[in-house]
Amino acid sequence: MEMPAAMNDKRYSRQALFDGIGESGQKRIQNGSAVIIGCGALGTIIANNLARSGVGRIRIVDRDFVQLNNLQRQVLFDEEDAQRRLPKAVAAVKRLNEINSSIELEPVVCDVNPKNVEELIRGFSVVLDGTDNIETRFLLNDACIKGGIPWVYGAAVGSTGMTMPIVPGKTPCLRCMIAEMPPPGALPTCDRAGVLNSITAVVGSLQSTAALKLLIGKREPRCQLTCIDVWEGEFNSVEVLRKEDCLTCVQRCFEFLQSKATSWTTVLCGRSAVQIVPPEERPISLRALAKSLTHAGGVSYNEFLLTLKLNNYELIVFPTGRAMVKGTADESVARALYAKYVGT
């Protein structure tokens, strides 16, 4: 049901009273659009804030489904979502539609990879980083710089986090700050260090605030990386300078967008699991696959995913052929199980 205009004016009245936004800024926010890549701890905070702020169109992209251990920090989900194993993007949009029915909300259940990232962000005003790995962030950086779309980087682990807005052609980019992919094990993960819900709430809120500034056209005098430690009570800003020889924003070499012909595997943050995306994602029949796997182990499925429980592993297959293998962080093991039970 469409909300009457007068009621929407009341909805955003306190926000429009704020001098930094005002009536004109609120209209720009309502005419703006945002893509949130990743709907976990950061993504749910961002989505909640932007939907309540009245951003007119929001696309939420996530590859995963809700699990019980998400509920400690992922604010848009509940126990029923975890029990039903709803895709996070679907569950988030369902909840946000109950909060604000006057905006356009779109769930996209997929992995973000070199083959689809440009299409996922095309035509949107701003991109928000709710991802959980540096490789996908480098990919987002490539796509946004190439497409000229502002984006807001964010990361959190343990009690610490950081965020920085990136505007193509005007600010340094992520690779000005992190020139090369860190080696495996160099960066802390939620799996090893855990994560407090307070740090994801702070970082996600700073990211959504940066998005509102971008939507109303506010330009910062310099580019700053904001660093927070909620446990120690520390809040610092570091000025980031543009690298004169940056591969991405100066030389416009988009290496993370290059390889589009091979499968894309990712060790998932916060659990022992590997995601596999086939070279070509095509619709498959979960019903037919379930029937063919009845001899292999416990099989169950719904319209969103199929689950095959094996002795030491769990294989979750999505309707496009994308899969997650739980119980291992070894990509070769995951690939072998995928080939055995789904096919190459």
Q: Is pLDDT at 1 greater than 80 in this prediction?
A: no
If residue 59 lies in a helix (H) or strand (E), which one and from where to where? strand 57-62
CA distance 213 to 221: 13
Exposure on the CB side of residue 159, measured as CA atoms within 13 A: 7
Which residues are CB-contacts of 192 (< 8 A; sequence separation ≥ 6)? none
* Active-site residue (options: 173, 190, 223, 246): 190
Backbone angles phi, psi at 124, to 5 degrees: -95, 155
Beta bridge partners, 237, equal 226
CA distance 47 to 63: 16
Based on the residue annotation, tell me whether 253 is a catalytic residue of this protein: no
Residue 241 has a pLDDT of 94
Residue 343 has a pLDDT of 73
* Cα–Cα nearest to 35, from 157, 98, 117: 117
The SS3 of residue 118 is helix
* Longest distance between any two alpha carbons in the chain, whole Å: 65
Give the mean pLDDT of 23-33. Answer: 98
Q: Is pLDDT at 142 greater than 80 in this prediction?
A: yes
Residue 23 has a pLDDT of 97
* Cα–Cα nearest to 318, from 306, 326, 310: 306
Q: Is pLDDT at 156 greater than 70 in this prediction?
A: yes
List, in sequence order, every beta strand (DSSP E) within 96-219.
104-109, 126-129, 151-157, 160-166
Q: How do the residues of the chain divide into helix, strand and coil, expressed in percent and rounded to 5?
A: 35, 20, 40
CA distance 299 to 307: 6
Exposure on the CB side of residue 134, measured as CA atoms within 13 A: 16
> Model confidence at 215, in pLDDT bands (50, 70, 90)?
very high
Residue 184 has a pLDDT of 47
> Model confidence at 344, in pLDDT bands (50, 70, 90)?
low
All domains of the chain, ordered by start, with CATH? 5-256 (3.40.50.720), 261-341 (3.30.310)
Residue 310: both structure tokens together = 């094996």
Q: Strand order in 160-166's β-sheet? A: 104-109, 57-62, 33-37, 126-129, 151-157, 160-166, 224-229, 234-239
Residue 245 has a pLDDT of 95
Give the mean pLDDT of 9-27. Answer: 95
Give the mean pLDDT of 180-200. Answer: 75
Q: Is pLDDT at 338 greater than 80 in this prediction?
A: yes
Average pLDDT, the chain: 90
Q: Is pLDDT at 6 greater than 80 in this prediction?
A: no
Residue 185 has a pLDDT of 47
Residue 43 has a pLDDT of 98
Q: Model confidence over 248-257: pLDDT tens digits?
A: 999 999 999 9
CA distance 145 to 166: 9
> Model confidence at 261, in pLDDT bands (50, 70, 90)?
very low
Q: Of 25-29, 54-58, 86-90, 319-323, which gets the smallest average pLDDT?
A: 319-323
The SS3 of residue 90 is helix
CB 152 within 8 A of CB 166: yes
pTM attached to this predicted model: 0.82
Q: Is pLDDT at 210 greater than 70 in this prediction?
A: yes
Give the mean pLDDT of 219-223. Answer: 78
Instruction: Please give the share of the chain, as a percent, with pLDDT higher than 90.
Output: 68
Strand 57-62 vs strand 33-37: parallel, antiparallel, or unpaired? Answer: parallel
Q: Is pLDDT at 134 greater than 60 in this prediction?
A: yes
Q: Of 36-45, 84-93, 179-188, 330-339, which gets the smallest average pLDDT?
A: 179-188
Give the mean pLDDT of 230-242. Answer: 96
Residue 155 has a pLDDT of 96
Long-range contacts for 133-139 (Cβ within 8 Å, ≥24 apart)? 133/266, 133/267, 133/269, 134/178, 134/181, 134/182, 134/187, 135/181, 135/256, 135/266, 136/37, 136/38, 136/112, 136/266, 137/174, 138/174, 138/175, 138/181, 138/256, 139/112, 139/113, 139/114, 139/256, 139/257
Q: Model confidence over 267-317: pLDDT tens digits?
A: 876 668 999 887 677 888 999 888 888 888 789 999 899 999 988 899 999
Pick the more confident residue, 221 or 174: 174
Give the mean pLDDT of 161-189. Answer: 85
